[in-house]
Amino acid sequence: MATLNERSNIVIRFSGDSGDGMQLTGTLFSDTSALLGYSVSTFPDYPAEIRAPQGTVAGVSGFQVHFGATDVNTPGDYCDVLVAMNPAALKANAKWMKKDATAILDADAFDEAHLKKAAFATADPLAELKLEGYNVIWAPITSFTKTTLKDSDADAKTVARCKNMFALGICYYLFNLPPEHTEAYFASKFKKKPALIDINRAVLKGGYNYAANTHAFANTYKVASGLLEKGTYRIINGNVATAWGLIAAAEKSGRELFCGSYPITPATGILEELSARKDLGVKTLQAEDEIAGICTAIGASFAGNLAVTTTSGPGLALKGEALGLAVMAELPLVVVDVQRSGPSTGLPTKTEQSDLMQALYGRHGESPVVVMAASSPSDCFDAAFWAAKITLEHMTPVILLTDGYIANGSEPWKIPNVKKDYPAITPPIASAGESYQPYRRDAERLARRWGIPGTKGLEHRVGGLEKDALKGNISHDPENHQKMTDLRAAKVAKVADFIPDLSVEGDAEGDLLVVGWGGTYGHLLSAVTQLRASGKKVSLAHFRHLNPLPKNTEATLSRFKNVIACELNMGQFANLLRMKFPHIPILQYNKVQGLPFTVAELVQKVNELRIFG
């Protein structure tokens, strides 16, 4: 009988060919963990090539799940268990295994042909990868899946596609998790094809029973009961959370939501989710290109909609000219940029934070916009909501930066009471009969009033040519252009009066302030927590608002002896801080590998600074 070991948290990594269903397997495992009350963080890792040759390292797809009873802020640096469906998956992921990790390998795939495709030099992959000391389980996953379904009517292709459920069943046994939630998924997913329900359920149980009856698993694991705050939860990824935050903002503002976008990895999921919400009045247009996407959104904004366009790095570059039009016309517009590795096509399925300078300055002329960033998959809901509130109430475009890591990653999200927990959104909509001048502004926000076409008496013109500071007529007057340029910049700067102060996690002063923004939050928080536990005077300041910066930014940075900005780029936010506050020295730590930080490397970097007494 296997020995039951109790753990506070576990990291498991599923890996295989793109067609092996590892993303689904990881999703089902994380869903089960979350439904049992565990804190969960996931990291899907897709191949950068669209159709990499099967069996090669380039074609390996992975999904990492970190679940535990305590707060889980990252998908984990290294895994306790690696499931590898072929030699290429083992080769690509062996470096992410802990020293005492378990590897569950599909023994049927480790033949001469597969070893050759994975570019192993010998017939002994364990020796070649120096894995002799690891707990390696050679499980006949493919052949046992075939045996389980030998009496079914399933064809060979269907049988092959089920082997991921055999691996999932093994993992459910290994971690003492019930398979019932996944069986319920089968019943819902295949309700029109009941034969597929029976097939997948049989294979899932087959994997579970194999693990229970074989002597290969000397240990099983039990993670302490989950401690999530009481409430109603669901697993959510960043793209879905972004879409829902925008929908909530539309509801709170009384404006219809329109999204005009061109599909691009990894932002497409937002457009897909919004297009499925016609029941909530959402209007979407899949445009023929990036320029058409933003231009349709600008037209929808002129017509009185909460207008959104979504994209990733190269698409943001294409939208630059039209975004300048939105700045000049002073129309509300949310541009969601799900950052990926660049430049050009780069690594389109990998994460990065390299679009900050483009978001801040990547347009011709003096063209300021508000720039914000979400920090986690569930935080995308709040960030999208507040981006919409700012754009509608301040009549200025807002760029919301997320990234591939949080867009595809998921975590439990406590479903909020939007009616009670979120503020009203009150766009400055002009009324019929008022004395309307398109560029007359309120003193509090410097926002012009929004004249919705079709409203009697509000006939006006807006466009790309410079406008008179009140009437909106075309103006070539040099002094008027200076005045309007100043006003557009001042309006963005005024947003600082309506955003929260920068908060510090840890002491308000000390030896080191770690600074970050966007999807690095979980890793930075975990690293700072670990450093503080070792007695170091380290704190964290994580920015949501990047332009304008919170009003207390300078004062906060000045209270620390040292400041280090950690980013998945070559130092863009560090350089922004240097420009804004040249008297404050800013250290930096950067990584551009298409991967998130690991907590271990962050802790190591801070320790190498040798700044502690």
pLDDT digit string (tens) for 188-219? Answer: 999 999 999 999 999 999 999 999 988 778 78
339 and 380 in a single domain? The answer is yes
Cα distance between residue 158 and residue 134, in whole Å: 33
Cα distance between residue 309 and residue 329, in whole Å: 17
pLDDT number for residue 290: 98
103 and 190 in a single domain? The answer is yes
Helix, coil or strand: residue 511: strand
Contact yes or no for 549/496 (Cβ under 8 A): yes
Mean local confidence (pLDDT), 260-287: 97
DSSP 474: B
What is the tens place of the pLDDT at every residue in 330-363? Answer: 999 999 999 999 999 999 999 999 999 999 999 9
Nearest-5° Cα angle at 90, 88 to 93: 105
Contact yes or no for 281/259 (Cβ under 8 A): no
**Cβ burial 82-91 (10 Å sphere, 16+ → b, else e):** bbbbbbbbbb
What is the domain extent for residue 61?
Answer: 3-223
Whether 249 is in a domain gets the answer yes
How many structural domains does the chain have?
A: 3
Long-range contacts of 272-280 (CB under 8 A, 24+ apart): 273/239, 273/240, 273/243, 273/244, 274/243, 274/246, 274/247, 274/308, 277/243, 277/247, 280/247, 280/251
pLDDT number for residue 228: 72
The CATH number of whichever domain residue 335 belongs to comes to 3.40.50.970
Mean local confidence (pLDDT), 596-604: 97
Whether 100 is in a domain gets the answer yes
pLDDT-derived band of residue 171, with 50, 70 and 90 as boundaries?
very high
pLDDT number for residue 215: 77
**Cβ burial 439-472 (10 Å sphere, 16+ → b, else e):** bebeeebbbbbbbbeebeebebebeeebbbbeeb
Where does a domain end: 173, 189, 223?
223
Closest alpha carbon to 126 in 345, 56, 240, 134: 134
The CATH number of whichever domain residue 604 belongs to comes to 3.40.50.920
18 and 117 in a single domain? The answer is yes
Whether 322 is in a domain gets the answer yes
The CATH number of whichever domain residue 123 belongs to comes to 3.40.920.10
Question: Bridge-partner residues for 60, per DSSP?
Answer: 17
What is the tens place of the pLDDT at every residue in 92-149? Answer: 999 999 998 999 999 999 999 999 999 999 999 999 999 988 999 999 999 999 999 9
Query: Strands, DSSP E only, in 179-232?
Result: 219-223
193 and 101 in a single domain? The answer is yes
β-strand pairing of 370-373 with 545-547: antiparallel
Whether 536 is in a domain gets the answer yes
322 and 405 in a single domain? The answer is yes
Cα distance between residue 425 and residue 434, in whole Å: 22
Where does a domain end: 386, 403, 421?
421
In Å, how far are 318, 438, 459, 530 from 539, measured between CA atoms?
38, 46, 54, 11
Look-up of token digits 């894995």: 131
Question: Bridge-partner residues for 9, per DSSP?
Answer: 68
pLDDT-derived band of residue 1, with 50, 70 and 90 as boundaries?
low
β-strand pairing of 135-139 with 398-403: unpaired
Whether 33 is in a domain gets the answer yes
10 Å CB burial of residue 171 (0-12, 13-18, 19+) is buried
- Cite the DSSP H helix spans in 450-565: 478-494, 521-533, 553-558
pLDDT number for residue 375: 98
pLDDT-derived band of residue 328, with 50, 70 and 90 as boundaries?
very high
Whether 482 is in a domain gets the answer no
Cα distance between residue 15 and residue 446, in whole Å: 53
pLDDT-derived band of residue 227, with 50, 70 and 90 as boundaries?
low
Rg of the chain (C-alpha set): 26
43 and 132 in a single domain? The answer is yes
Mean local confidence (pLDDT), 432-447: 94
pLDDT number for residue 442: 95
316 and 345 in a single domain? The answer is yes
Lowest mean pLDDT among 29-33, 34-38, 249-253, 401-405: 34-38
pLDDT number for residue 332: 98
**Residue 403 corresponds to which tokens in the numbers above?**
């990234």
66 and 120 in a single domain? The answer is yes
Q: Considering Cα of 522, then 524, then 527, then 533, what sign does the dihedral take?
A: negative
Whether 492 is in a domain gets the answer no
245 and 326 in a single domain? The answer is yes
Mean local confidence (pLDDT), 575-586: 98
pLDDT-derived band of residue 49, with 50, 70 and 90 as boundaries?
confident
521 and 574 in a single domain? The answer is yes
β-strand pairing of 79-84 with 9-17: parallel
Where does a domain end: 223, 248, 263?
223
Lowest mean pLDDT among 232-236, 238-242, 296-300: 232-236
294 and 405 in a single domain? The answer is yes
Whether 316 is in a domain gets the answer yes
- Cite the DSSP H helix spans in 110-149: 112-117, 125-128, 141-148
137 and 249 in a single domain? The answer is no
**Helix (DSSP H) and strand (DSSP E) numbers for the chain:** 23, 21
